[in-house]
Structure 1
Amino acid sequence: MVLRVALVSFRADLFLALQEGCAAGGHEVVLGVVGRSRRPGGAAAAGIAAKVADVVPVLPPGVDLVLPGDVGGLVAALHGYRVDVVVVCGFSWRIPPIALAAPTLGFINVHASLLPRYRGPAPVQWALRNGDPGIGVTAHWMDERIDTGNILVQRGGIPLPEYVTFAELWPLLDPHIREVVTAALGRAETGCPGRPQEESLASYAGALEAEYSHIDWSWPARLIHNQVRTFHFGAGIAGPFAEVDGERVRVLRTRLTPGAGTRVQCADGPIWVTEAEPA
């Protein structure tokens, strides 16, 4: 069975990974969707234009790209293109029931964690914050809540580099995203409902709190090192800030073993600040 698939994302490389996952399963991409901010004064027109310019070249020839302004526009597009299933990887809207019911089979979301751990918008930041050695990718059916739907496919054991940026991470995840999309669509076409998530294991990875942008040298060294790694990836807030040798700085890199840098005593031992800039 060849499924008619709509892809929803916000980056050209993610569109390409989703598209390749569809193609590997023999399915047809019939529509691309970029979600515009629904907040007043959200994404500027220039930013949206740049996204469109990046995404259009990676879509299959003849596939339209739409930028729905509201849920009604999204529903109309899904009906108009006779979409069987929507594959999402990065979408800032909470999808209401009227939209979830628009495609024949439903919405599949691709999330960068092993759900039910790290539901929410910042799974990688929280994995770094907690010092996890790796992350996973989950494809699940979407429901009205955030990252709570039945799981179709999971892949774990993806190593997290000690220092990695948002832009550097996605190429590492691309092959895993392609794999889970192919497998998830294969299960979707058979009518697989997926398996329910274990609520007792659930955790939420929300936006980082403002207090986390300040380093407290009375914490254990490992926690502070992970704090710096989290901000190196991109935390959505500025930081982390600290006082080093009497100067207020933004700490960019640290190390836990002796070497170059400024030695600072923490609760359980020293840490070395190897890169910083004036706050």
Structure 2
Amino acid sequence: MRVILISYSAQGFALLHSVCERAGHTPVAYLHARSLRPGEPTRHGAGDVVGEIVDALPNGMDLLIPGRKSALPHIVAGYQADLIVCYGFPWKLPPAVLRATNLGAINVHTSMLPKYRGPIPVNWAIRNGDKEIGVSIHWMESEFDSGGVLAQEAGITLGDDVVPQPLWEEVDRCIERLLPRALSLAVAGSPGSPQEEGSATYAGWMEPEFSQIDWSTAREVIHNQVRAIRFGSSGKSGPVATVAGRRLRVLRTSLQPGDGIKVMCGNGPVWITESVPVTDSQS
């Protein structure tokens, strides 16, 4: 089977490529989004990511970096592919793209669908205090993350301090287990298990207010707010709060007594164990 791979990084492409090849399928092109939405400016850092992808490209492999999606159906159709395999693509693929291969497209999503459809499911799981996440591989349809589920596995633990690299390594191991099964089912024409629409939730981009701490909120909510932003920034950032008249960027908190600043929240104390001052230029 000829497959087009869509992913967010060199590591993502390498994972999909190796699993597809071991399953007896041939990747014929890579596709990567340089912007969060079609037609928008290239996102910060995209050049470095593209450089890493190019450095790791297999010999003869095409890398497609579209700026808009109107030409995608014709480009995809030109590869005469059987299937698109996607893992990490922020755009909604038009139906014409999904019809441009013989079988359609499948997507790897880091949640137990139908929970947390959308672009940042892990961040929302941390924000909501979930103890674990999972991986789902599903058919792509016109709406985000709504197609029949071909393979699914839970049990990836979210600790109190979620460090991105070990978490994504565990996610990758889960994908290595699930993707061969999903590919076999796709070849066999399985529609997958329908999702329960009544249980669907959406994990969209965080609202601007999420970057500020409101100390009247419950302490668990504030702790998870710090955890989610810390995870999303790989430990480099956190929400801003005013503490004793000083503006701080809160990088780490504890619900248990610890070294740091004790602050009363809506239902009890939280301890700020790591923070940095907010400068005037960051306000």
On whether the aligned pair clears a TM of 0.5, the verdict is: yes
* Alpha-carbon distance in structure 2 between the residues aligned to 1:71 and 1:6: 16
1:109, distance to aligned residue in structure 2 (A): 0.9
Deviation (angstroms), 1:195: 1.3
Cα deviation, residue 168, structure 1: 5.2
What is the CA RMSD across the aligned residues, in angstroms?
A: 2.0
1:241 paired residue number:
240
Q: How does 1:205-244 map to 2 (within 5 A)?
A: 205-234=203-232, 239-244=238-243
- Code of the residue aligned with 1:42 in structure 2: it is T
* Number of residue equivalences: 274
**Contact 2:39–2:67 (CA<8 Å) still a contact in 1?**
no
Q: Is the 8 A contact 2:39 2:68 kept in 1?
A: no
**Structure 1 residue identity aligned to 2:43:** A
1:276 matched residue in structure 2: 275
Residue 93 of structure 1 deviates from its aligned partner by 1.8
Gaps of 5+ in 2: 279-283
CA distance in 2, matches of 1:212, 1:223: 11
Q: In 2, Cα distance between the equivalents of 1:126 and 1:52? A: 27
* Alignment match, 2:281: none
Q: Map 1:165-180 to 2 at 5 A.
A: 165-166=163-164, 169-180=167-178
Partner residue in 2 for 1:98: 96
Is residue 116 of structure 1 aligned with residue 114 of structure 2?
Answer: yes
Q: Which amino acid aligns with 1:92?
A: P
Match of 2:131 in 1: 133
Q: Which moved more, 1:172-181 or 1:69-78?
A: 69-78
Deviation at 1:48, TM superposition (A): 4.6
Deviations for 1:135-186, whole angstroms, at most 9, x for unmatched residues?
Answer: 1111110011111111111111101132235555422311112222221111
Q: For the residues of structure 1 that align with 2:243 and 2:272, how far apart are their CA atoms?
A: 8
Pick aligned residue for 1:187 from 165, 185, 188: 185
Aligned to 2:39: 39
After superposition, the Cα gap between the structure-2 partners of 1:183 and 1:59, relative to the gap in structure 1 and judged at 3 Å, is: farther
Deviation at 1:199, TM superposition (A): 0.7
Instruction: Please say if residues 21 and 179 of structure 1, whose CA atoms lie closer than 8 Å, have aligned partners that are also in contact.
Output: no
Distance (whole Å) between structure 2 residues aligned to residue 143 and residue 129 of structure 1: 27
Which structure 1 residue ranges, 5 or more long, are not aligned? none
- Offset at residue 220 of structure 1 (A): 2.0
SS at structure 2 position matched to 1:193: coil
Which among 53, 66, 76 is matched to residue 51 of structure 2?
53
Q: Distance in 2 between matches of 1:252 and 1:227?
A: 10
Secondary structure in structure 2 of the residue aligned to 1:71:
coil
Deviation at 1:72, TM superposition (A): 4.5
2:119 touches 2:203 (CA, 8 Å); kept in 1? yes
1:24: how far off?
2.8
Output one character per residue of 1:81-128: Cα deviation in whole Å (capped at 9) or x when no partner: 211000111112211111110010001011110110001112111100
- In the other structure, the counterpart of 1:203 is 201
In structure 2, the partner of 1:19 is: 17
- State the one-letter code of the partner of 1:129: R
Give the TM-score taking structure 1 as reference length: 0.91
Assess, with a 3 A threshold, how the Cα gap between structure 1 residues 29 and 214 changes in structure 2: closer, same or farther: same
- Report the CA distance shift for 1:68/1:266 in structure 2 as closer, same or farther (over 3 A): closer
